[in-house]
Amino acid sequence: MTGSRLPDGGTGIDRGDPRAFDFEGTVVSGFAGDTVASALLANGIDVVGRSIYHDRPRGVFSAGPEEPNALVQVRWASGISEPMLPATTVPVEDVLEVRNLAGRGRLEPAEPGTDTGRFDARYAPCEVRVIGAGVSGRRAASNARTADPGARVLLIDSDPAAAGDEVRRGMTALGIYDHGYVTAVERCPAPATEGRLWHIRAGRIVIATGATERPIIFADDDRPGVMLAGAAATYVERYGVRPGERAVIFTNNDTTDAVTATLRGAGTEVVAIVDARRGDLIVGTMGDDAGRLTGIRITRAHGRPDAGADGDDPETIEADLLLVSGGWNPNVALWAHARGTLRFDERIAAFVPDRAGPHGRIEVVGAAAGEVEGLGDIGPTWVVPPPGPATDAAWSTHYVDLGRDSTVQDLQRALGAGLESIEHVKRYTTIGTGIDQGRTSGVVTSAIAAAILGQDVGAIGVPTFRPPTVPVSFAQLAARNRGALADPIRVTPSHPWHEANGAVFEDVGQWKRPHHFPQAGESVDDAVLRECRAARTSVAMMDATTLGKIDLQGPDVGAFLDRVYTNTFSSLKVGSCRYGLMCRADGMVFDDGVTSRLADDRFHMTTTTGNAAAVLDHLEEWLQTEWPDLRVHATSVTEQWATVAVVGPRSRDVVAALAPSLDVSDAAFPFMTWRDAVIAGTLGRAFRISFSGELAYELNVPTWHGLALWEAVLAAGATFGITPYGTQAMHVLRAEKGYPIIGQETDGTVTPQDLGMAWAVSTKKDFIGRRSHRRLDAQRPDRKQLVGLLPTDPRIVLPEGTQLVAPDADLRVTPVPMLGHVTSSYDSAALGRSFALALVKGGRERIGQTVLAPLIDRVVEAVIADSVLFDPENRRRDGEPQP
């Protein structure tokens, strides 16, 4: 094939605007309006790549998104490198550099700061959405506008140079989903953005996506120089490119008549028209050393006047271009996405939308509906048998899917292996799984399978079409939702202080929480030990703002909480707080927290940080769907209150200094009560509750004053060396006391009884999940129970998640029966050693026993203990115990 630019012509190019790009080290010149493929052909570059598995040279096969051969890696003008693009759809204007690919694209690793790709997304409702701006699509859009001048009619076309008015060009529909939802990708000129993803909700959808030509399959049908017939005409007419000098046309329909005329008009010598309907067939091709087409082999039908003298022996014709047309497939992928069914239409020998189905919202028009113009009487030729004996190997160069290097031989193997469903055939052969999604190979595959199985093509069908219709990058799908915009980031009012003071943050849900506050040169472990020691010996402070807070109001709140919590809240006195456990109906622990009574008809609930939204959902669901008679309003106030926990034996002194008008004596403000108070000059609430076992307070002020409170606590505690601590120290302190963290000690299969918290489960009233606790399974003695775990070597901190086995377990015989697993594990300043919490089968019966923790490189011994390892008598709750 020796392509060249014609001296004039080319409706789609601007000869006054020359462009150039680098292709494998060669400068390729073209014009604005060219695709990479048309420019390559114009420059006489006929081998554009090598095939993925068989390493065979391949050339440009098509002029559109159906391209299976000319797949390239493109460096866009913006600098972004994108793999696996069909050269037939890439405009030269936007391209710096093009490399060919042996079927495998590469994502270029981005140097930090060099990922400058910007992608956008847009939402657009419309009354009528028309996909495809050909004659039928433009007519449908025009009709819709005439019928309702006020209707929003969106007419799109993937071709950046599509004709017509009011067409959104360069925009490709990716898929049709439920209820008129359509996604589309729009390639945008850099530097504004690389592309834009459209989310469109359409009242009515018109599919006018046209039809795609398909080949006829024969031996060595994959050489550079073999091209779809219609594509050759496109190169001449649109791009002013003559794709070859001596052409043979192989056809089974009348659409090649116009192609012949176009080629001849461009000066290509059409040396033979091989029409399968007359019994003439191409049985093979010949090539030069580089694999390029040099000639074809034809068998003519017997009995015709022009039949060769040697009857069936192939005749040879020299040619550098072989144009093939095996008919046209309506582009039905989008129709099929919307669960539209297909039927095989013998009239055009292709699958067409079966419009009898219930799809009032979607219609298909034009060639996509099977109205392919100029087809004539199509002949049912799909494949030409190999010349000579039709052995299995003789089919090994009958390429069906060029993009996947799949042949008729592969198809025979699949069918021979008993795979009769076309879905299985697709997966066995990989036909149709390339980036062109089987646009040229799919229906041919079904027809060949039908012939081999002796069935109708219509009965075989085609594999399910699934979105997206064209490859789309993850970056495009993410659009602007990347980096900081990927997910909301929630910070507390004290966050600027945490940042300025070197906090190391961890993500808890969407919150940024300080994990620890390292001092200069301090390791994580050292920092956590220091923070814990401060809380147990003097005073420490933590930002607890992220705890979920729900304001509950109404005369029936008490009764409601009795049903929601496993324990009783209706008896709680105003001014008091109570720890509560919540279960789902299945009896498994769902959340916990301290809830306080603000007034007869008002409670303040706290939840775990990560579960705040889920708890509010849970409360509203039960209120709305089961107990609409209860007069309760639930409102999230998490964002309304900033909370600082002041923890340790000196915390009372700090709170006294912060709130001079508050009587902080144990008698006036005992454990598990709360008080209104002016704290650091702001009206707020002080709660005497503890998540560490130490004397502790949680101070709440309106969020606006959160940072001021934090700084005031810091100042008031300075004389005691008050120490800010993070979530890790909080975890250690609570674990020393055996307090579970819902979601760490529990996993949705743990009951309150498993946690050793039967004391928090009322036996006198019903509550959500109560019946589940009476299930036989909930009462098995070998349920996993929460226990403490002390490694025999006190320096070893077991990894969380470590499995535990019996001391006499034979570790060589797998599977080794598991007794349980480590849920939390830390080094402890207070205990002077490592410790863990674990869920162990029948654990409370095993206290004092040894278990083994097999690690990757060793086996660690540990002794099961009570889950409360520090101050089991709660003597520290009211401050440093008097000796």
Partner 1 sequence: MLLVPCPHCGPRDETEFKYGGQAGIAHPADPESLTDAEWLDYLFLRDNPKGPWRERWVHTAGCRRWFDVTRDTLTNEFGDIGG
* Residue among 541 and 634 whose Cβ is closer to partner 1: 634
Instruction: Map tokens 């990716």 to a residue.
Output: 174
The Cα 660–Cα 178 span in angstroms is 63
For the bound state, the minimum distance from the C-beta of residue 556 to partner 1, rounded and expressed in Å, comes to 17
**8 A C-beta contact, residue 463 and residue 422:** yes
Instruction: Map tokens 């052995």 to a residue.
Output: 391
The Cα 47–Cα 126 span in angstroms is 45
- Please name the residues in contact with 100: beta carbons below 8 A apart, sequence gap of 6 or more: 23, 24, 48, 49, 50, 70, 71, 72, 73
* Residue among 625 and 661 whose Cβ is closer to partner 1: 625
* Residue among 339 and 875 whose Cβ is closer to partner 1: 339
User: Would you give the DSSP letter of residue 744?
Assistant: T
Distance, C-alpha 177 to centroid of its chain: 17
The Cα 543–Cα 531 span in angstroms is 13
For the bound state, the minimum distance from the C-beta of residue 181 to partner 1, rounded and expressed in Å, comes to 5
For the bound state, the minimum distance from the C-beta of residue 842 to partner 1, rounded and expressed in Å, comes to 22
* Residue among 199 and 278 whose Cβ is closer to partner 1: 199
The Cα 315–Cα 326 span in angstroms is 21
Q: How many CB atoms lie within 10 A of CB 446?
A: 27
Greatest extent of the chain over all pairs of C-alpha atoms, in Å: 122
For the bound state, the minimum distance from the C-beta of residue 772 to partner 1, rounded and expressed in Å, comes to 7
For the bound state, the minimum distance from the C-beta of residue 632 to partner 1, rounded and expressed in Å, comes to 14
DSSP string, 32-84: ET-BHHHHHHHTT----EE-TTT--EE----SSTT-SS-EEEEEETTS-EEEE
**8 A C-beta contact, residue 838 and residue 867:** no
* Residue among 14 and 620 whose Cβ is closer to partner 1: 620
**8 A C-beta contact, residue 850 and residue 863:** yes
- Please name the residues in contact with 454: beta carbons below 8 A apart, sequence gap of 6 or more: none
User: Would you give the DSSP letter of residue 394?
Assistant: G
Q: Strand, coil or helix: what is 652? A: helix
Say if residue 854 is exposed, middle or buried (CB neighbours under 10 Å; 0-12, 13-18, 19+). middle
The Cα 222–Cα 48 span in angstroms is 13
* Residue among 624 and 661 whose Cβ is closer to partner 1: 624
For the bound state, the minimum distance from the C-beta of residue 768 to partner 1, rounded and expressed in Å, comes to 8
Residue 445 vs residues 342, 425, 729: alpha-carbon distances, Å: 16, 9, 64
* Residue among 640 and 850 whose Cβ is closer to partner 1: 640
* Residue among 151 and 286 whose Cβ is closer to partner 1: 151
For the bound state, the minimum distance from the C-beta of residue 624 to partner 1, rounded and expressed in Å, comes to 5
For the bound state, the minimum distance from the C-beta of residue 190 to partner 1, rounded and expressed in Å, comes to 30
- Please name the residues in contact with 322: beta carbons below 8 A apart, sequence gap of 6 or more: 223, 225, 226, 227, 247, 248, 249, 250, 282, 285, 293, 296
* Residue among 428 and 627 whose Cβ is closer to partner 1: 627
* Residue among 778 and 809 whose Cβ is closer to partner 1: 778
Q: How many CB atoms lie within 10 A of CB 6?
A: 16
* Residue among 613 and 790 whose Cβ is closer to partner 1: 613
Sheet bearing 784-791, strands edge to edge? 803-804, 820-828, 833-841, 784-791, 859-865, 850-854
Radius of gyration of the CA atoms of the chain, in A: 37
**8 A C-beta contact, residue 48 and residue 40:** yes
For the bound state, the minimum distance from the C-beta of residue 177 to partner 1, rounded and expressed in Å, comes to 6
For the bound state, the minimum distance from the C-beta of residue 179 to partner 1, rounded and expressed in Å, comes to 4
For the bound state, the minimum distance from the C-beta of residue 426 to partner 1, rounded and expressed in Å, comes to 24
* Residue among 347 and 771 whose Cβ is closer to partner 1: 771
| Residue among 20, 76, 23, 30 nearest 49 (CA) | 23
The vertex-386 CA angle with 384 and 391, nearest 5°, equals 130
Task: Enumerate binding residues for partner 1 (CB under 8 A).
Answer: 177-181, 201, 339, 358, 585-586, 617, 620-621, 624-626, 766, 770-772, 774-776
DSSP string, 247-313: EEEEESSTTHHHHHHHHHHTT-EEEEEEEGGGT-EEEEEEE-TT--EEEEEEEPPTT-TT--TTTTS
* Residue among 45 and 336 whose Cβ is closer to partner 1: 336
For the bound state, the minimum distance from the C-beta of residue 339 to partner 1, rounded and expressed in Å, comes to 7
For the bound state, the minimum distance from the C-beta of residue 380 to partner 1, rounded and expressed in Å, comes to 35
- Please name the residues in contact with 356: beta carbons below 8 A apart, sequence gap of 6 or more: none
* Residue among 256 and 476 whose Cβ is closer to partner 1: 476
For the bound state, the minimum distance from the C-beta of residue 488 to partner 1, rounded and expressed in Å, comes to 13
For the bound state, the minimum distance from the C-beta of residue 219 to partner 1, rounded and expressed in Å, comes to 46
Q: Are strands 362-364 and 195-207 parallel, antiparallel or unpaired?
A: parallel
* Residue among 177 and 505 whose Cβ is closer to partner 1: 177
* Residue among 183 and 609 whose Cβ is closer to partner 1: 183
For the bound state, the minimum distance from the C-beta of residue 617 to partner 1, rounded and expressed in Å, comes to 7
